[in-house]
Amino acid sequence: MSQTTRSTPSIRGEDIQRQWHIVDLDGQVLGRAAVQIANILRGKHRPAFTPHTDTGDFVVVVNAAKATLTGNKLEQKIYYKHTNYPGGLKSTKAKLYLATKSEQAIRRAVWGMLPKGPLGRQVLRKLKVYAGAEHPHQGQNPQPLNITG
């Protein structure tokens, strides 16, 4: 008796029709928005999600400077970086970091939710973050993405 085997198709990155989404972070919570942005970048919203392949879409984030943090995080959360020199550990409170480097804060929050390594770096290149409401991606006709939560 012969058995036919069924295999799940593995989708290649070249076979995906990538879409552009735009996210307005005006008044949105940073972490909750970062989760949904990471899922769109990774491609987890697609039925043909493949974990080892970049199957996600492009995401344009506007009004990054207007994102908020919950609780006492504005006063208590600290962002660290190291200059790679002895004694080069620098720290910045979240309030100052969001005011001066809001694009970097969004990028770091999303990066924390992506796989580390070559696939994660490739996925993160599809994230475009802007502090204000203007962006140069009108030609791609981005579709609005509603962040819930």
Mapping DSSP onto H, E and C, the string for 83-121 reads: CCCCCCEEEEEHHHHHHHCHHHHHHHHHHCCCCCCHHHH
pLDDT at 64: 96
**How far apart (Å, rounded) are the C-alpha atoms in residues 102 and 34?**
13
Place of tokens 């943090």: 69
**How far apart (Å, rounded) are the C-alpha atoms in residues 53 and 64?**
28
Q: Which long-range contacts (CB under 8 A, 24 or more apart) does 83-88 make?
A: none
Domains within the chain, CATH numbers bracketed = 19-68+100-144 (3.90.1180.10)
Mind listing the pLDDT tens digit of every residue in the chain (149 residues)?
556 777 777 777 778 899 999 999 999 999 999 999 999 999 999 888 889 999 999 999 999 999 999 999 999 999 999 999 999 999 999 999 999 999 999 999 999 999 999 999 999 999 999 999 999 999 999 999 988 76
State if pTM tops 0.85: yes
pLDDT at 7: 76
pLDDT at 1: 53
Cα–Cα distances in Å, from 84 out to 2, 89, 127, 138? 62, 8, 27, 39
pLDDT at 3: 67
